[in-house]
Amino acid sequence: MIFIVDYGMGNLGSVAKALDYLGFSNRITQDPEQVASAERLILPGVGAMEYAVRQLERLGLDQAIRSYLSTGRPFLGICLGMQLMFESSEEGNARGLGLLPGVVRRFPAQPGLKVPHMGWNRLENSRLPILPEGGSFYFVHSYYADPADPALVAARSTHGIPFAAAVQTGPILLTQFHPEKSGDAGLELLSRWAGQTDGGCPWDSETTGGAAR
């Protein structure tokens, strides 16, 4: 069972519908016990980091996420769900969950550069088969994660400057783009992430494992 964390911010329905379409059992939840004991966990999100952290703490979901991650099970953070994993954000000097070292920064003002970055963009410098080099995905964001350790960056995109489009460490995969809004490429990513059967991650595999549904 895949649990989708509900803290009042995010395209929960879109993520759930994408998983339903792919045939993976899933449930949207605010229950910390379900979050902590999930087989796989997705943290989506849109909006401001400061409010998101307050919501997670109010619901007891911050500690549940920490407990879940300590087990080494697969975790997918999407958009704000990616940014929340880092220490802080330039958006109101907000603190994040601090699970990964780094800062969330605003795109610098440049002539002709539109912020928020909204629309389709391609992945560059991908180091994971699950993130196809040159693959096109859908982004909506004004801020981007800047990991303290560049080795955490799994793929980049460019919007005025190169930025981390995806981050990976162990069983944690974070995407700045929205797989659930990215057509066939996004569905393929979700299928490969959700379909792993070895208790690990398909980072080094060119094929999707049989689905655990």
Q: What is the mean pLDDT of residues 55-68?
A: 98
Reduced to 3 states (helix: H, G, I; strand: E, B; else coil), residue 136 is strand
**What pLDDT is attached to residue 196?**
72
Residues in CB range of 96: below 8 A, 6 or more apart: 49, 53, 83, 84, 85, 86, 87, 88, 89, 104
Is 79 marked active-site?
yes
**What pLDDT is attached to residue 171?**
96
pLDDT digits (tens, 9 = 90+) for 108-148: 988 988 999 999 999 999 999 999 999 999 999 999 999 99
**Which segment of 26-35, 129-138, 198-207 scores lowest on mean pLDDT?**
198-207
Of the listed 33, 79, 124, 188, which one is catalytic?
79
**What pLDDT is attached to residue 203?**
52
Of the listed 91, 180, 188, 206, which one is catalytic?
180
Of the listed 117, 141, 159, 178, which one is catalytic?
178
